[in-house]
Amino acid sequence: MPTAQQVQAIMQRYVERVDAGDIDGILQLYAENATVEDPVGQAPLQGIDQIAEFYRQGLGRMKVSATLTGPVRASHSGCGAMPFRVDMQWQGQDCSLHVIDVMTFDEQGLISSMKAYWSEVNVVPR
């Protein structure tokens, strides 16, 4: 199980890779059988193939930047949560999406699940 410090580092690396638009780098952080629920309430994506398609269809089609807006909170049980902001265009307008991601990690320190908490009420004009 990754330590709390390792969870913090991995989650920060995730935001850095989102900011860079590094889809392959993001996918390297995930376990083969991981799940993604983005946003929470959507049917979870299961497995690296579905997750790859999600990032390629979303992040791969738009220019975004991502910034942590607070510290990564990490547990001693391989879980973490972080607030961050994604700046992008939403329906033709420059805006910011404020999101909280909650992740769990496997024994190898790979993301086994990611849940993103956000909705349209968290999208604000820039």
How high is the pLDDT of residue 63?
A: 84
Residue span of the structural domain in which 119 resides: 4-125
The residues annotated with a catalytic role in the active site are 14, 38
Helix or strand holding residue 7 (H, E): helix 4-20
**Prediction pTM value:** 0.94
pLDDT, residue 27, reads 98
| pLDDT score recorded for residue 60 | 76
Q: What is the 3-state secondary structure (H, E, C) of 34-73?
A: EEEECCECECCEECHHHHHHHHHHCHHHCCCEEEECCCCE
Of 57-61, 71-75, 99-103, the range with the lowest mean pLDDT is 57-61
Residue 113 maps to which CATH number? 3.10.450.50
pLDDT band at 58 (very low <50, low <70, confident <90, very high): confident
Number of domains in the chain: 1
Helix (H, G, I), strand (E, B) or coil at 29: coil
Q: Contact at 8 Å (CB) between 85 and 94?
A: no
Kindly give, in sequence order, each residue whose CB lies less than 8 Å from that of residue 71, ignoring residues fewer than 6 positions away: 8, 82
